[in-house]
């Protein structure tokens, strides 16, 4: 994140630096993110029907996404460890384009935002879908992972105009 034109994860010498949030107010914060996995119609049908030989693909991907949000600071070096109060993962199936849209919601009361946690949740849920389905469809693609909204904090609230319903 940048304040003005200054990158906040760099100190005066240009070295990597964890942002000091000590004096920031504790506020309610939330972020949503989304990503897409595209697969063959046959693979999508296995997932939707729950007939995949590995079991309930959605349930496993949901749990993986929740766990990933909780571990975000272990994966991304300059992220603060956060006490998340809510993590939700949802899936929207787009049969016309053979896609599953993965949506995440992360919330907390804290001194820093949860955008990275929402992005990590979506990323790992997509990777889990890929992992569980790769034997049936090794040509799946994961794309368009992005933050769709944020609420709270000094920079205020915003939301993308085009967003699926989801979480």
Write out the catalytic residue numbers: 131
CB 52 within 8 A of CB 130: no
CB 39 within 8 A of CB 135: no
Distance of alpha carbon 123 from alpha carbon 106, whole angstroms: 14
CB 137 within 8 A of CB 21: no
- One-character DSSP codes across 21-86: -TTSPPEEEEEEEEEEEE--HHHHHHHHHT--TT--HHHHHHHHHHHHHHTHHHHSTTPPP---SE
């Amino acid at each position: 994140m940048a304040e003005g034109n200054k990158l906040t994860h760099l100190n005066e010498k240009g070295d990597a630096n964890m942002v000091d949030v000590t004096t920031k107010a504790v506020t309610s914060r939330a972020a949503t993110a989304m990503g897409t996995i595209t697969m063959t119609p046959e693979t999508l049908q296995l997932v939707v029907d729950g007939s995949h030989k590995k079991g309930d693909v959605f349930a496993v991907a949901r749990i993986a996404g929740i766990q990933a949000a909780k571990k975000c600071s272990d994966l991304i070096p300059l992220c603060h460890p956060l006490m998340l109060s809510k993590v939700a993962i949802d899936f929207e199936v787009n049969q016309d384009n053979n896609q599953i849209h993965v949506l995440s919601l992360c919330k907390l009361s804290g001194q820093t935002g949860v955008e990275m946690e929402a992005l990590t949740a979506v990323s790992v849920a997509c990777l889990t879908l890929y992992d569980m389905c790769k034997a049936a469809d090794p040509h799946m693609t994961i794309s368009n992972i992005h933050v769709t909204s944020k609420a709270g904090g000094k920079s205020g609230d915003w939301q993308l105009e085009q967003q699926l319903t989801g979480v």
